Amino acid sequence: MERYPGLSPLPDRIRRLEELACDLWWSWHYRAREVFRRLDYQIWRDTDHNPVRMLRLVSRDRLVDAAEDRSFLALYDSVMHDLDRARSARDTWWSQGERPAARGAQVAYFSAEFALHQSLPLYAGGLGVLAGDTCKEASDLGVPLVGVGFMYPQGYFHQHLSADGWQQEAYEKLNWLDAPIEPAVRSDGSPCVVAVPLGDRTVLAAVWLVRAGRIRLFLLDTDLPENAPWDRELSARLYGGNQETRIQQEIILGLGGVRALRALDIAPTVWHLNEGHAAFVVLQRVREAVETGQPFDEAVAEVRRTTVFTTHTPVPAGHDAFPFHLVEAYLSGAWGSLGGLRDAFLALGAYDNGNGDGQMFNMTALALRSAGAVNAVSQLHRDVTRTMWAPIWPGTPPEQAPIQAITNGVHVPTWVAAGLSKLFEAYIAPDWRQRHDEEHMWDAIDAIPDEDLWAVRQALRADLFAFARERARHRWTDERVGPGQIVAAGTLLSPEALTIGFARRFTAYKRPELLFHDPDRLARILSAVRRPVQIVYAGKAHPADDSGKHHLQHIYKRAMDQGFGGRIAFIDDYDLHVAHYLVHGCDLWLNTPRKPLEASGTSGMKAALNGVPNLSIGDGWWAEGYNGVNGWLIDGQSESRDQAEVDAADADALYRLLETEIVPTFYDRDSAGTPKAWLRVVREAIRTAMPRFSSRRMMKQYVESMYGLRSLPE
């Protein structure tokens, strides 16, 4: 594969560096990252860890040196050996299980977002991170899965903040040469392009391939010269545009995705729809079956036997619903011989969600009615979902609605800091990564000496501040922002102070301003002599969510307000890269959603894995994750229906925990300066999060209880 004609080729001895750079497997393997870091640390930093771009920038001399450097070559050889092994998928959990139902199994995982690495900006937030972590875990476990999604050449937006804290969105065109993608090809070697009927026209979608270990991810892209200019833009941006853009994107993902798999000779036995965006997969499959002569009801039943659906939010606006005329207009070319059964199909999606719009074509309703296995993403979310969608199963009491709970998890090798990982190797087990979901193994966490654990926690906090400072320097010198914004960027943070992290999408239900309910009380907590507290915020608001942008602006103004002494920071342009620094480097992770609207939440899990205890409302994962000693539960115990009263009670509970428990525990030090009691909470956070809130536990549950691929009892 010659990606960069005209550039000097890699020296033969290290020729496979390009293959390594183009397989995102490197991103969750520490030693693989080390290969690039050692090749040229400066370029590695300058490219925000993008090895594809790096290989274009690194000098020929450096490459020649590396090809003769014995210690570099030893690392290179062993990493390439590991990559080959990972791809072969021998000796995996999957290959070792006796799975009679699983011979020839192939899972197709459809998602509108995939967050694998910051160099491939195909995600807006939590949904994408979950999809990315799922792919990585499937690779590690050897589960035969392919992903299907969208290539957004302009991705989601970069966030800039004006001097008065108003979010501005900047879309940047992806430089294809810098991205770890290649054209997907059919068995005859020709590039894979599929035709998708859209209204009375046909739109072509090219298919790109992303490699992640043994997983392949296929991405649809309508930016082809054969398409009309407006069609070329359809896949330009994630969640850009209005309902019309959205329904067209979803038709391309659903219909085009199935067609792409057919063209590539991939025959899924399980179709997993990650959120309702992909539910048009069902239409394409029913149509295919009807065209082979199957009656409609049988076709739907067959689809149901092989479709799995995960729903992700109890917030009504998070479920796409389209007026029927829009669906009719854009599906008019898609029916084929299903045409006469159009009403029957539309009925599968018909739903009145009670918001006054009457019946609409609801993508979640379509998925719920046509999936044989449905899950919510935490136990509490399952209960809420059963009630929310009860009308789908008339006559069934909500508590018996066929929805399971599979609580989300996060990919451990991706999210655990390298410094901690080394401690685990030394004190837990050298192969702890391969066994991290074994609960008992983590009892050994007490073997890590307090001083070592604390030294790593301190170093991670220092890394976060160094990162924030460098970013601020960049804004100061390159973007010429004012001094107030430099303070807001975190330049006055103190290296030793208790640091609270709050990073997530800015939207009303997450109550980003709860902490400011009583600003004077907060200011007293932050500026206490000898026991200072500081807060680091990050997050984007959806471009169309003005209320979210107002919340963000209020926080930003607090960060510039002298009254808080430079102890509040806002790190702009939250993405995977920023998320890593935050979940590693904060001391405490704050989450204040309006219960029960947080379906799961995963940033708190990432924090907990790194010994960053949670301080959270008992919503989403924390309702089942909190055990009394691994963090803190905010519970204002208000039974009121009045939101303002609930907010006041929750804020008071939050302040009280900080004043009476958290701050005193953090600053209670022994003669060597080690916070013994704090470290007990740190250990508990790690011990409980690792096995239970990892994507490993999650993926095994999907395989065994959703995909119908149980292993034989041992």
Ligand X SMILES: *Cc1c(COP(=O)(O)O)cnc(C)c1O
How many angstroms separate the CA atoms of 502 and 607, rounded?
Answer: 11
**Site track 554-593 with ligand X (rule: CB under 6 A), x = hit:** --------------------xxx--x--------------
CB of 23 to ligand X, least distance (A): 21
How many angstroms separate the CA atoms of 100 and 385, rounded?
Answer: 33
The answer to whether the CB of 613 falls within 8 A of the CB of 630 is yes
What DSSP character marks residue 597? -
Residue span binding ligand X (CB under 6 A) among the ranges 47-55, 271-279, 565-573, 603-611: 603-611
Give the CA diameter of the chain: 81
What DSSP character marks residue 586? -
Residue 284's Cβ-side half-sphere holds a number of Cα atoms within 13 Å equal to 23
Q: Which is nearer to ligand X, 408 or 665 (CB)?
A: 408
Residue span binding ligand X (CB under 6 A) among the ranges 152-160, 374-382, 561-569, 597-605: 597-605
139 near ligand X, rule: CB under 6 A: no
Residues in contact with ligand X, counted by CB under 6 A, come to a total of: 13
Strands 350-352 and 359-362: antiparallel
How many angstroms separate the CA atoms of 114 and 122, rounded?
Answer: 6
490 near ligand X, rule: CB under 6 A: no
603 near ligand X, rule: CB under 6 A: yes
CB of 411 to ligand X, least distance (A): 11
How many angstroms separate the CA atoms of 487 and 570, rounded?
Answer: 9
CB of 538 to ligand X, least distance (A): 9
Residue labelled with tokens 């669906």: 327
Q: Which is nearer to ligand X, 284 or 507 (CB)?
A: 507
125 near ligand X, rule: CB under 6 A: yes
Q: Which is nearer to ligand X, 313 or 491 (CB)?
A: 313
Residue labelled with tokens 């606006």: 317
CB of 76 to ligand X, least distance (A): 30
Q: Which is nearer to ligand X, 251 or 579 (CB)?
A: 579
Work out which of 149, 532, 601, 675 binds ligand X, going by CB under 6 A. 601
CB of 579 to ligand X, least distance (A): 3
How many angstroms separate the CA atoms of 584 and 603, rounded?
Answer: 11
How many angstroms separate the CA atoms of 294 and 664, rounded?
Answer: 69
CB of 65 to ligand X, least distance (A): 36
CB of 262 to ligand X, least distance (A): 33
Structure tokens at 227: 């398409």
The answer to whether the CB of 695 falls within 8 A of the CB of 436 is no
Q: Which is nearer to ligand X, 151 or 608 (CB)?
A: 608
* Residues contacting residue 577 through CB under 8 Å, at least 6 positions apart: 48, 49, 118
Q: Which is nearer to ligand X, 109 or 506 (CB)?
A: 506
Q: Which is nearer to ligand X, 383 or 575 (CB)?
A: 575
136 near ligand X, rule: CB under 6 A: no
Strands 167-170 and 182-183: unpaired
Residue span binding ligand X (CB under 6 A) among the ranges 123-131, 290-298, 422-430, 669-677: 123-131
Residue span binding ligand X (CB under 6 A) among the ranges 23-31, 50-58, 391-399, 600-608: 600-608
How many angstroms separate the CA atoms of 651 and 514, rounded?
Answer: 6
CB of 503 to ligand X, least distance (A): 7
As a whole number of Å, the end-to-end CA separation of the chain is: 44
Q: Establish whether the linkage from the previous residue to 596 is cis, with ω within 30° of 0.
A: yes
* Residues contacting residue 95 through CB under 8 Å, at least 6 positions apart: 89, 142
Q: Which is nearer to ligand X, 97 or 604 (CB)?
A: 604
Work out which of 51, 126, 142, 691 binds ligand X, going by CB under 6 A. 126
155 near ligand X, rule: CB under 6 A: no
CB of 129 to ligand X, least distance (A): 4
- Residue 110's beta-bridge partner residues? 148, 273
Q: Which is nearer to ligand X, 506 or 702 (CB)?
A: 506
CB of 61 to ligand X, least distance (A): 37
How many angstroms separate the CA atoms of 220 and 606, rounded?
Answer: 30
What DSSP character marks residue 113? -
How many angstroms separate the CA atoms of 617 and 647, rounded?
Answer: 11
Q: Which is nearer to ligand X, 128 or 675 (CB)?
A: 128
Q: Which is nearer to ligand X, 287 or 606 (CB)?
A: 606
The answer to whether the CB of 333 falls within 8 A of the CB of 200 is yes
Q: Which is nearer to ligand X, 184 or 579 (CB)?
A: 579
CB of 547 to ligand X, least distance (A): 17
* Runs of H (alpha helix) within 89-186: 93-96, 126-141
Q: Which is nearer to ligand X, 142 or 409 (CB)?
A: 409
CB of 574 to ligand X, least distance (A): 6
**Site track 75-114 with ligand X (rule: CB under 6 A), x = hit:** ----------------------------------------
Residue span binding ligand X (CB under 6 A) among the ranges 48-56, 122-130, 293-301, 678-686: 122-130
For 126, 134, 683, the CA distances from 409, given in Å and listed in that order, are 11, 9, 19
Q: Which is nearer to ligand X, 508 or 528 (CB)?
A: 508
Kindly provide the b/e burial profile for residues 344-375, where b requires at least 16 CB atoms within 10 angstroms of the residue's own CB. ebbebbebebeeeeebbbbbbbbbbbbbbbbb
Q: Which is nearer to ligand X, 115 or 247 (CB)?
A: 115
Residue from 555, 552, 560 nearest 482 by CA: 560
Residue labelled with tokens 């940047």: 172
129 near ligand X, rule: CB under 6 A: yes
504 near ligand X, rule: CB under 6 A: yes
CB of 210 to ligand X, least distance (A): 18
CB of 601 to ligand X, least distance (A): 4
- Which residues 314-333 are close enough to bind ligand X by CB under 6 A? none
Q: Which is nearer to ligand X, 125 or 413 (CB)?
A: 125
Q: Which is nearer to ligand X, 116 or 252 (CB)?
A: 116
464 Cα distance to chain centroid? 20
DSSP string, 225-243: TTS-HHHHTTTTSTT-S-H
CB of 560 to ligand X, least distance (A): 24
Residue span binding ligand X (CB under 6 A) among the ranges 15-23, 63-71, 121-129, 518-526: 121-129
238 near ligand X, rule: CB under 6 A: no
- Which residues 605-624 are close enough to bind ligand X by CB under 6 A? 606
Helix 342-349 crosses helix 281-291 at what angle (to 10 degrees)?
A: 150
Single-letter amino acid code for the residue at 282: V
CB of 599 to ligand X, least distance (A): 8
Q: What is the CA radius of gyration of the chain?
A: 25
CB of 575 to ligand X, least distance (A): 5
In the chain, what are the helix, strand and coil shares in percent, each to the nearest 5?
50, 15, 35
How many angstroms separate the CA atoms of 571 and 703, rounded?
Answer: 38
Residues in the site for ligand X, rule: CB under 6 A? 125-126, 129, 504, 574-576, 579, 601-604, 606
